[in-house]
C-alpha cells in the first residue's frame, strides 16, 4: 500500500460572515452557561444543604465567575478556529469538505451518490446572509453539511450539484 501523504485543504473557505454567526452563537452559549451558573449558585447558596461545599454556600457568586472564566477562552477562540478549518470544494465529481473545532472531519461525497441537495437557513443565518448546504445520499452515514456559506454561493452550489448528479444518473442508465 502506498501513502500519498496528508490530505490537502479543500480549495474554498466558508464566508467570513460565518465568524460573526459563530461569535453570536458563542455569546448565546456564554449567557446560558453563566445564567445557569447564577441560578445554581442562588439555589445552592440559600439551600442550607449539608452536601454543598461550605465555600460555595458562603460565596454562591463564585460559581458563575468560575464558569465564565473557564468558558470565555473556549467560546472566544471557537469561531476563529472553525473559520480556519471549515473549507469545501467541488472537484470533478466529488464534493470534498472539512469541518470541526476540537475534532476534524473530512467528508468526500461522490456526486453520483447524491439524492437531494438542499440549502437551509436558520434565523441567524438569514440575518447575516448565510446558508447551510445539506447533501443527502443513500449512505448509512446520512447527510453531509457545509455550514457558513454565503447564501448565493450555497444556492449556486446546490444548483450545480443537482445538475451534475442528474447528468451522472442519466449516463448510468
Query: Cα separation of 36 and 149, whole Å?
Result: 32
CA distances from 26 to 11, 71, 168 (A): 27, 10, 41
Task: Give me the pLDDT at residue 145, please.
Answer: 92
Task: Give me the pLDDT at residue 140, please.
Answer: 72
Beta strands in 6-161 (DSSP E): 12-13, 87-91, 94-100, 104-110, 114-120, 130-137, 143-150
Task: Give me the pLDDT at residue 19, please.
Answer: 97
Task: Give me the pLDDT at residue 131, please.
Answer: 97
- The whole model's pTM is what? 0.83
Q: What is the 8-class DSSP label of residue 65? A: H
Task: Give me the pLDDT at residue 9, please.
Answer: 84
Q: What is the mean pLDDT of each run of 10 residues along the chain (173 residues)?
A: 68 96 96 94 77 81 93 94 94 88 88 90 96 88 88 95 80 53
Amino acid at each position: 500500500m502506498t501513502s500519498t501523504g496528508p490530505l490537502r485543504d479543500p480549495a474554498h473557505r466558508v464566508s467570513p460572515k460565518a465568524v460573526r454567526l459563530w461569535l453570536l452563537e458563542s455569546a448565546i452559549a456564554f449567557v446560558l452557561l453563566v445564567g445557569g451558573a447564577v441560578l445554581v449558585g442562588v439555589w445552592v447558596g440559600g439551600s442550607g444543604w449539608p452536601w454543598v461545599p461550605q465555600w460555595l454556600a458562603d460565596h454562591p457568586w463564585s460559581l458563575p465567575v468560575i464558569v465564565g472564566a473557564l468558558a470565555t477562552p473556549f467560546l472566544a477562540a471557537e469561531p476563529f478556529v472553525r473559520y480556519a478549518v471549515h473549507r469545501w470544494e467541488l472537484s470533478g465529481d466529488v464534493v470534498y469538505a472539512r469541518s470541526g473545532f476540537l475534532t476534524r472531519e473530512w467528508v468526500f461525497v461522490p456526486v453520483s451518490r447524491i439524492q437531494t441537495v438542499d440549502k437551509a437557513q436558520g434565523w441567524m443565518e438569514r440575518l447575516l446572509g448565510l446558508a447551510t448546504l445539506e447533501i443527502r445520499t443513500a449512505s448509512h452515514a446520512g447527510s453531509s453539511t457545509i455550514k457558513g456559506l454565503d447564501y448565493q454561493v450555497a444556492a449556486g452550489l446546490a444548483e450545480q450539484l443537482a445538475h451534475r448528479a442528474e447528468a451522472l444518473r442519466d449516463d448510468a442508465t
